[in-house]
């Protein structure tokens, strides 16, 4: 009797769209700086939130740390931005997965619509220099030819005369545009052009056993590691690799395994991959399917019904225990062969 069940239900939708997202212009609006749990974002002159500048999940849910209600109008704000025009780059999210799902998708049109001196207006705590202090953010934006001097954020409410807003090319758990996949693949091509990447038939398994904090992990995942390692699978700890090295490694391997995690999103920078995912819920978070669709991956998602949810511990949102983990690992081997 199989210990794994194919996942067939979805959390969200996964529509792949061929047309480009819209690009709109807001005149005489205002910017409220990022403040966790308070009103922040871009607003029209009368205080109406700009929908194109908001990151919705499943088309309706705004980020949990954002509010869109404000009593302010442009007339209430004394500070005015120095530049006449900006391009909106959205929120800079320093979490790897959210950066690839929420931040980078707004940059699909940047090379085409931006002149070299037009500032990219963003939201987020800290400063552009601090954002670029996160290695994967610096690496990703560097592949687009961007540096801290190209970015700006304001720390007080500010009137802005003109903001060009590229709508996001990946709507979280909803839809993705092919232009995002195209942009990311070109970024990956730049990495692959700088070093020789030899295709390796050895499959890899991405493990979370060394993570000190995460959304979730399987407490006895080391049992899966042991079986796979003995079978010749290479065990990889993605948090130990740079952004560039993750793309190089994933580009070199056709067969990829792992429990669901944001490291899988790096496949969008690679040639189409074959992914076998140990899913920790019966539903597939459709962000994975959106990345698969844009990357051209062949992916399957499998859920072990015996998985047990444990009491929450610090640094982990959810902990799980997998009975018969070694046998589950053997089934995963059968699935990739």
Domain boundaries, the chain: 5-14+194-336, 21-168
CATH number for domain 5-14+194-336, candidates 3.40.50, 1.20.1730, 1.25.40, 2.60.40: 3.40.50
Three-class DSSP labels, 160-210: EEEEEEECCCEECCCEEEHHHHHHHHHHHHHHHHCCCCCCECCCEEECCCC
Please, are residues 101 and 266 in contact by the beta-carbon 8 Å criterion? no
- How many CB atoms sit inside 10 A of residue 39's CB? 18
Could you tell me which of 328, 307, 191 has the C-alpha nearest to residue 249?
A: 191
Average pLDDT, the chain: 95
Enter the pTM of the model: 0.95
What is the spatial distance between Cα 250 and Cα 241, in angstroms, rounded to a whole number?
11
As to burial, measured by CB atoms within 10 angstroms (0-12 exposed, 13-18 middle, 19+ buried), residue 215 is middle
pLDDT at 313: 75
pLDDT at 174: 98
pLDDT at 54: 97
pLDDT at 150: 97
pLDDT at 215: 77
**What number of CA atoms fall less than 13 Å from residue 272's CA on the CB side?**
8
pLDDT at 337: 85
pLDDT at 176: 98
What is the spatial distance between Cα 172 and Cα 11, in angstroms, rounded to a whole number?
11
Residue ranges of the chain with pLDDT lower than 70?
A: none
């Amino acid at each position: 009797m199989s210990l794994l069940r194919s996942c067939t239900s979805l959390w969200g939708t996964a529509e792949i769209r061929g047309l480009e997202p819209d690009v709109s212009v807001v005149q005489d609006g205002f910017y409220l700086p990022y403040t966790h749990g308070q009103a922040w974002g871009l607003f029209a002159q009368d205080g109406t939130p700009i929908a194109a500048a908001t990151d919705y999940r499943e088309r309706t849910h705004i980020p949990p740390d954002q509010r869109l209600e404000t009593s302010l109008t442009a007339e209430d704000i004394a500070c005015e931005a120095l530049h006449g025009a900006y391009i909106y780059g959205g929120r800079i999210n320093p979490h790897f997965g959210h950066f690839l799902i929420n931040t980078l998708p707004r940059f699909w049109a940047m090379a085409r619509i931006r002149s070299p001196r037009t500032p990219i207006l963003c939201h987020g705590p800290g400063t552009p220099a601090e954002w670029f202090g996160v290695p994967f953010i610096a690496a990703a934006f560097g592949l687009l030819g961007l540096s801290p001097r190209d970015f700006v954020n304001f720390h007080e409410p500010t009137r802005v005369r003109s903001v060009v807003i590229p709508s996001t090319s990946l709507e979280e758990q909803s839809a993705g545009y092919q232009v995002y996949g195209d942009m990311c693949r070109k970024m990956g091509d730049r990495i692959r052009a700088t070093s020789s990447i030899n295709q390796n038939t050895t499959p890899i398994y991405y493990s979370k056993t060394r993570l000190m904090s995460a959304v979730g992990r399987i407490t006895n995942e080391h049992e899966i590691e042991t079986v796979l390692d003995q079978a010749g699978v290479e065990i990889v700890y993605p948090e130990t690799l740079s952004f560039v090295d993750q793309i190089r490694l994933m580009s070199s391997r056709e067969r990829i395994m792992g429990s669901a995690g944001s490291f899988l999103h790096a496949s969008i920078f690679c040639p189409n991959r074959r992914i076998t995912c140990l899913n920790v819920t019966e539903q597939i978070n459709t962000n994975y399917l959106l990345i698969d669709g844009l990357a051209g991956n062949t992916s399957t998602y499998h859920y072990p019904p015996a998985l047990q949810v444990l009491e929450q511990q610090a640094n982990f949102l959810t902990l799980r225990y997998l009975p018969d983990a070694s046998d589950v690992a053997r089934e995963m081997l059968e699935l990739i062969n």
